[in-house]
Chain A
Amino acid sequence: MPESARLWGENLTLAYDHSVVSRDLGITIPDNSFTVIVGPNACGKSTLLRALSRMLKPSHGAVHLDGRMIGSYPSKEVARRLGLLPQSSIAPDGITVADLVARGRYPHQKFLKQWSRTDEQVITEAMDATGIVDLAGRMVDELSGGQRQRVWLAMVLAQQTPLLLLDEPTTYLDIAHQMDVLDLCAELHQERSYTLVAVLHDLNHACRYATHLIAMKDGQVVAEGSPSDIITEELVEEVFCMPVRVIPDPETGTPLVVPVDRGGRIARRDRPGPTLGHTDPDGAEQRRSA
């Protein structure tokens, strides 16, 4: 079954030093999907992403990319097929946006051909796709968190790999910028037919954006499929050990996970009339303050 997919792994045992995170894990990333991996902290989702992007060598089993074991490619060759946006990267001091995006061209550069007009054109397109063309000459250190994440995304796009792994791309961003980044991902997926694999913390974001959802717990895949098919109150309770209610998202119809008020300490404030579409002026005010 999995052999037709571009990226899959089988019998994976993933471990740091000698503490095993996952044992006998099988995973397939459906081509042209926006796959999101969710699960509680320390469930091994980032570790899995590291293995899929050959940052971590499985102590057993193998990850396959385009029909070959990922470890058998030269490292620049992998970087021309698969891009990874790590959780935290360091922008070198005093680098401009355009220069940082240009670094995504590294796997395509050769000793005698360090920089060409093709590179120039590709980075312009990458900046265009992420809406940062106007920032090209700015210093990266001067940008806001949301802008900076767009720059890093542009750098990965400049790599020109139609397969893209994103390790918690929305961490450290406020809600508006989180949606911003996820919308951008959805656009890449739908309009530029990227295959995306993202680790996300927010279940509701995952349900909204994923076409394929993988729920993990204790290093194992508990369920996978389309969010509407697999997200049930039972599954979320099993994975996160927390009672929830699952209702349809009033905006998109995708599952919306609402934690049950376990302690009963929160006074119930039933509002008269519809609460949907209710806007909170204070919330809107705070959006840009970060």
Chain B
Amino acid sequence: MTLTPARTGTGSGTSTSGGADAPVGRRPGHATRTLSLAGGRISFAVRPRVAAVYGGLIAATAVVFAVSLAVGEYSIPLPRVLWALAGQGERLDLFFVRDVRLPRAWVAVLVGAALGIAGGVFQSISRNPLGSPDIIGFTGGASTGAVATILVFGGSMLQVSLGAMAGGIATAVLVYLLAFKQGVQGYRLVLVGIGINALLMAVRDYLITRAELTEALTAHIWMIGSLNGRGWGEVIAVSIAAAVLMPLVLALGPRLRMMEMGEQAALALGVPVQRTQITAMLAASALTGAAIAVSGPIAFIALAAPQLVRRLARTQGTALFGAALMGALLLAAADLAAQHALAPTQLPVGVVTAVIGGTYLVWVLYREWRTGHA
């Protein structure tokens, strides 16, 4: 063997290679720096462009977040918003900032992040930019579950959420099993998903035609997806799901990126492909389920966020963390628009994301067509 490992850096603190001591140094086109900490025990690659894009997304989300606390029918200047956050100021300020706008903004950010990351997982596994919980049938399953709960049990908010979760996860498992043949291949997953989704829509529509008018209306509004009137209860519910599932999914990220090279290549490099597929799909489904349970099936965030961040940051393969950041920004911004674009009418945020998503879809298809993939 002549490809022998070189000695590792012995310096302490932070150092970057890429100067004269590195063999290739920074690669042209895709600058990468090796960052090592704690005497080389912790070291990883840093891409300046990725870091910049992620930083930008966080900053933009913070701005949207701040604006959504301040504006509304009862506008509050920013300094007073900050005071209210600290628990000071007028009662009305406190009420609007802390009880109405803050939880809603948090729900938007968390649900957006959850959908973004879940979309990234599904796209990575299906190796298809159109793979997402929407298209793979998960959302169809969740909304059928929710509608069935509303129509059959009358359905409190909690019951509807549970119904959505159950429907979604059952569908995900079903789609996975049907698409399974010595591992799951991307196109088969998408095709089976589309088929199951169509079936579920039929079931759902049938249920709605059998329902009373008011129930049908409730079900329909739920199906558009909205953040109107979401409070701290919802924040806590999504936070718990996110705190448990997001680290799990992010930890699977490197394996998923390997699997994008094909099952055999990943296996050859020591990735436990099937176990990773199942774990990632279950975790992403549960995450989508939690998000949908709180907000209803909000369209297109899961589809668009992973692709947009990939193009912006020019990452190699799916960037799950970036997809979470992008999803958070997209949904927070869309909800801000939904609240104020046609004020005083409050649109359900699902309407806004559908408009954004439709535009996005046309763009993706156009691109694929132009580059000759479709």
> Which residues does A use to contact B, with CB under 8 Å?
16, 53-55, 74-80, 83-92, 94-96, 98-100, 103-104, 106-107, 109, 111-122, 124-126, 129, 133, 136-138, 156-160, 162, 192-193
Assess whether A89 is in contact with B8, with CB atoms less than 8 Å apart: no
Name the prevailing secondary structure of the B interface residues.
Answer: loop
* Complex: A77 Cα to B262 Cα, angstroms: 20
Q: List 17 A-B contacts (CB under 8 A).
A: A54-B267, A75-B272, A78-B270, A79-B268, A86-B265, A91-B261, A92-B260, A96-B30, A98-B32, A99-B27, A114-B43, A118-B5, A120-B23, A121-B23, A126-B3, A133-B24, A160-B5
The closest CB in chain A to the CB of B31 belongs to A137
Q: Which residues of B contact A192 (CB under 8 A)?
A: 1-3
* Complex: A114 Cα to B310 Cα, angstroms: 20
The closest CB in chain A to the CB of B22 belongs to A120
* Whole-angstrom distance between the Cβ of B13 and the nearest chain A Cβ: 15
* Whole-angstrom distance between the Cβ of B307 and the nearest chain A Cβ: 10
Given A116-B34, A120-B34, A160-B3, verify A103-B258 contact (CB < 8 Å).
yes
Given A96-B30, A121-B23, verify A90-B268 contact (CB < 8 Å).
no
Contact of B270 among A94, A106, A117 (CB under 8 A): A106
Assess whether A107 is in contact with B270, with CB atoms less than 8 Å apart: yes
Assess whether A106 is in contact with B43, with CB atoms less than 8 Å apart: no
* Complex: A85 Cα to B8 Cα, angstroms: 28
Q: Which residues of B contact A79 (CB under 8 A)?
A: 268-270
The closest CB in chain A to the CB of B269 belongs to A106
Assess whether B269 is in contact with A136, with CB atoms less than 8 Å apart: no
Within 8 Å of chain A (Cβ to Cβ): is B344?
A: no
Given A117-B22, A126-B3, verify A96-B264 contact (CB < 8 Å).
no
Contact of B36 among A55, A86, A117, A160 (CB under 8 A): A117
Contact of B1 among A53, A136, A160 (CB under 8 A): A160
Assess whether A86 is in contact with B316, with CB atoms less than 8 Å apart: no
> Which residues does B use to contact A, with CB under 8 Å?
1-3, 5-9, 17, 22-24, 27-30, 32, 34, 36, 40-45, 127, 182, 251, 254, 257-258, 260-262, 264-265, 267-272, 310, 314, 316-317
Q: Which residues of A contact B1 (CB under 8 A)?
A: 160, 162, 192-193
Contact of B265 among A78, A89, A96 (CB under 8 A): A89
Given A84-B268, A86-B264, A112-B42, verify A118-B317 contact (CB < 8 Å).
no
Assess whether B261 is in contact with A104, with CB atoms less than 8 Å apart: no
Given A55-B267, A106-B270, verify A115-B260 contact (CB < 8 Å).
no
The closest CB in chain B to the CB of A95 belongs to B316
Q: Which residues of B contact A111 (CB under 8 A)?
A: 251
* Complex: A230 Cα to B143 Cα, angstroms: 66
Q: Which residues of A contact B22 (CB under 8 A)?
A: 117, 120
Assess whether A94 is in contact with B314, with CB atoms less than 8 Å apart: yes
Assess whether B44 is in contact with A129, with CB atoms less than 8 Å apart: no
* Whole-angstrom distance between the Cβ of B184 and the nearest chain A Cβ: 15
Assess whether A90 is in contact with B264, with CB atoms less than 8 Å apart: no
Q: Which residues of B contact A55 (CB under 8 A)?
A: 264, 267-268
Given A92-B257, A106-B254, A192-B1, verify A117-B6 contact (CB < 8 Å).
yes
* Complex: A157 Cα to B24 Cα, angstroms: 17
Contact of A89 among B2, B32, B261 (CB under 8 A): B261
Contact of A106 among B6, B127, B271 (CB under 8 A): B271
The closest CB in chain B to the CB of A108 belongs to B5
The closest CB in chain A to the CB of B36 belongs to A116
Q: Which residues of B contact A137 (CB under 8 A)?
A: 27-30
Q: Which residues of A contact B316 (CB under 8 A)?
A: 92, 94-96, 99-100
Assess whether B30 is in contact with A120, with CB atoms less than 8 Å apart: no
* Whole-angstrom distance between the Cβ of B30 and the nearest chain A Cβ: 5
The closest CB in chain A to the CB of B316 belongs to A95
* Complex: A242 Cα to B254 Cα, angstroms: 49
Q: Which residues of B contact A76 (CB under 8 A)?
A: 270
Known A116-B8, A122-B5; 9 more pairs at CB < 8 Å: A53-B268, A74-B270, A75-B271, A77-B270, A86-B265, A89-B261, A92-B257, A96-B27, A122-B3
Assess whether B258 is in contact with A106, with CB atoms less than 8 Å apart: yes
Q: Which residues of A contact B32 (CB under 8 A)?
A: 98-99
* Whole-angstrom distance between the Cβ of B273 and the nearest chain A Cβ: 9
Assess whether B269 is in contact with A90, with CB atoms less than 8 Å apart: no
Q: Which 5 pairs from chain A and chain B are nearest by CB? A: A79-B270, A137-B28, A76-B270, A86-B264, A84-B268
* Complex: A53 Cα to B260 Cα, angstroms: 20
Assess whether B8 is in contact with A117, with CB atoms less than 8 Å apart: yes
* Complex: A53 Cα to B45 Cα, angstroms: 30
